[in-house]
Structure 1
């Protein structure tokens, strides 16, 4: 799954739990602005900390019990890699241009 930022913010390919990134043209500052308080710059270049509750919100109707279970598994894997900020309830994602 990935978050696409164009005119709006959408969650694309919500059933793919093996990838997670932000697809957009622009840099971290532009992404943080687009997320309007639901993301923060990471200390790593070209990465963001994204609010986990916002990802669930973006999933909409796709977020059934099976999706939640798989999403929790993805988050557990991300946590094992250091990609979860537990106090802020955020997951880290890299930014890549669309169609990359």
Structure 2
């Protein structure tokens, strides 16, 4: 799944739990601004910390019981890689240009 920042912010490919990124033109500062402060820069280039609650909100109607279980499994895997900021309840995502 990925967050698209091209006009309105949307969550795309919502049932793909094998990847997570942000698609946009621009840099970390532009992404943080577009996400109304619900993201923050990472220490790694071209990466952001995304509020986990925002991902759930953007999933909308797709976020049923099965989706939530698979999302939790994705977050558990991300935690093993150091991609979860537990104190701030965020998951790390890389920024990918469109296309």
**Normalising by the residue count of structure 1, what TM-score does the alignment of the two structures yield?**
0.98
Q: Which residue number in structure 2 is paired with residue 37 of structure 1?
A: 37
Q: Which residue number in structure 1 is paired with residue 75 of structure 2?
A: 75
Q: Which residue number in structure 2 is paired with residue 49 of structure 1?
A: 49
1:1-100 → structure 2 map (5 Å cutoff):
1-99=1-99
Unaligned runs of 5+ in 1: none
Q: Deviations over 1:44-98 (max 9, x none)?
A: 0000000000000000000000000000000000000000000000000000001
Q: Would you identify which runs of 4 or more consecutive aligned residues in structure 1 move more than 3 Å?
A: none
SS in 1 for 2:26: coil
Unaligned runs of 5+ in 2: none
Alignment RMSD: 0.4
